[in-house]
Structure 1
Amino acid sequence: MVPDVAGRLPGRGLWLPPRRDTMERALSKRIFARAARQPVVAPPRLADRVEALLARRCCDALGLARRAGLAVAGFDRVGEAARRGRAALLLFAVDGADGGRRKRAAMAGDLPAASVLTAAELGGAFGHERIVHAAVGGGTLCDRLRIDLARLAGFRAEAAIDWDLGDLGLAPAQPALQGGKSKAHD
């Protein structure tokens, strides 16, 4: 079994909603083996591995947006991008100071906002040690980042986003595994 967070590996695949509890339950109840109709050996700490892969994918997309000139970091620059209509997504470090939540809410306005990545993860995407505020301009890269952030939020209890995958024209993940008769909620 190999996690395929990009969805590009060949083969049928077994799909679950992007949530840690669903994955851990599927592993403990051997739902992957039932859906595949053959023995399946899951790597140790699969949920942690998927979380790390999703976090890496989000940071890579954010770094690409920065290099393309579509992302800015820092409270003042993010606020300016939001006011000028250049931001399509606001990102706030999940481990940022609690006192700034009101400021963040005021800054976000009607823009989608996420608090999923840590300050170190945001900083890594911008080549800094820590970043607490970031903004990304619109486009397909931003849409991909929103999808991956929503998926990652299912693996992090402290994460918060203000949209779901249905907002992006994607159906929310079904509770049943595709390709098999087993259901994840057995």
Structure 2
Amino acid sequence: MSRGGQAKTREEPERRCIATGEVQPKAGLIRFVVGPGDEVVPDVLGKLPGRGIWVAADRAALEKAAKKGLFSRAAKRPVKVPDGMIAGLERQLAQRVVDLISLARKGGYAVAGYEKAKDWLAKEHAKVLVQAMDGSERGKTKLRTPEGGRFIGVLTAQELGLAFGRENVIHGALAAGGLTTRVVEEADKLKGVRETAVEGSTGKVRRPDER
């Protein structure tokens, strides 16, 4: 299975992580390129020109690649890893998830608010439960991840609010179809890179290395 919860096919491209040495689908990796001034640049959208350097969407793997000179080894020449690169990558990934949820909302595949999310879950319309990582734990436990579905808990209430055009959002839900698979894939990447993430609808906070 891929990180997006879809069955892997033979055509799904795979790449090797320079930090772990593991070969896995591109959906679970971050692409980097060497930009101007021989500086390593994250390619969150996967569209920048140049030879791709791939690292697992895992903070420990990213830190290893940065500290051990693995980017230079992969590029076969000295390259610079800018200070704060991983923090910047985290912000880009968070914005990517926000943007995708916003597009899903505009397409009718996402709703916000406790009552709307509850209604979609009750009608088995929701395939993904989305909750703010900094929301009330008591309130979040009232909703459960749909059977056979997914849970996203890596965005703050403010970030979810941006996705839904509000100040803050704690609860949301995504239907199958549209951009939902891409939202899940990008949220999984953010989950691996972000300093802390919420695991499951119980709201338990874990660190990225607690796998």
Q: TM-score range by the shorter chain?
A: 0.7 to 0.9
Counterpart in the other structure of 1:16: 55
Give the Cα–Cα distance (whole angstroms) in 1 for the partners of residues 61 and 190 of structure 2.
13
Q: 1:152 aligned to 2:190?
A: yes
SS at match of 2:120: helix
SS at match of 1:103: coil
Counterpart in the other structure of 1:84: 123
Give the Cα–Cα distance (whole angstroms) in 1 for the partners of residues 81 and 140 of structure 2.
39
Counterpart in the other structure of 1:131: 169
Give the Cα–Cα distance (whole angstroms) in 1 for the partners of residues 185 and 156 of structure 2.
17
Identity %: 39
Counterpart in the other structure of 2:150: 112
Segments of 4+ moved more than 6 angstroms: none
Deviation by residue 1:129-181 (Cα, 9 ceiling, x = unmatched): 1100011111140000000000000112431456xxxxxxxxxxxxxxxxxxx
Q: CA deviation at 1:101?
A: 4.0
Counterpart in the other structure of 1:168: none
Counterpart in the other structure of 2:65: 26
Q: 1:141 aligned to 2:175?
A: no
Greater relative contact order: 1 or 2 (C-alpha under 8 angstroms, separation 6 or more)? Answer: 1
* 1:83 counterpart letter in structure 2: A
Q: 1:65 aligned to 2:104?
A: yes
Q: 1:5 aligned to 2:48?
A: no
TM-score by length of 2: 0.72
Q: How many residues are aligned here? A: 161
Give the Cα–Cα distance (whole angstroms) in 2 for the partners of residues 151 and 43 of structure 1.
21
Q: CA deviation at 1:109?
A: 4.2
Give the Cα–Cα distance (whole angstroms) in 2 for the partners of residues 2 and 131 of structure 1.
32
Give the Cα–Cα distance (whole angstroms) in 2 for the partners of residues 138 and 97 of structure 1.
26
TM-score by length of 1: 0.81
* 2:164 counterpart letter in structure 1: F
Q: Which runs of 5+ in 1 are unaligned?
A: 163-186
In the superposition, relative to structure 1, how do residues 157 and 108 fare at CA in structure 2: closer, same or farther (>3 Å)?
farther
Please say if residues 153 and 161 of structure 1, whose CA atoms lie closer than 8 Å, have aligned partners that are also in contact: no
Q: 1:100 aligned to 2:139?
A: yes
More off after superposition, 144-153 vs 3-12: 3-12
Counterpart in the other structure of 1:45: 84
Please say if residues 88 and 112 of structure 1, whose CA atoms lie closer than 8 Å, have aligned partners that are also in contact: yes
Q: Which runs of 5+ in 2 are unaligned?
A: 1-39, 201-211
Spell out the pairing of 1:161-172 with structure 2 (5 A cutoff): none
SS at match of 1:43: coil
* 1:39 counterpart letter in structure 2: P
Please say if residues 94 and 119 of structure 1, whose CA atoms lie closer than 8 Å, have aligned partners that are also in contact: yes
More strand by share: 2
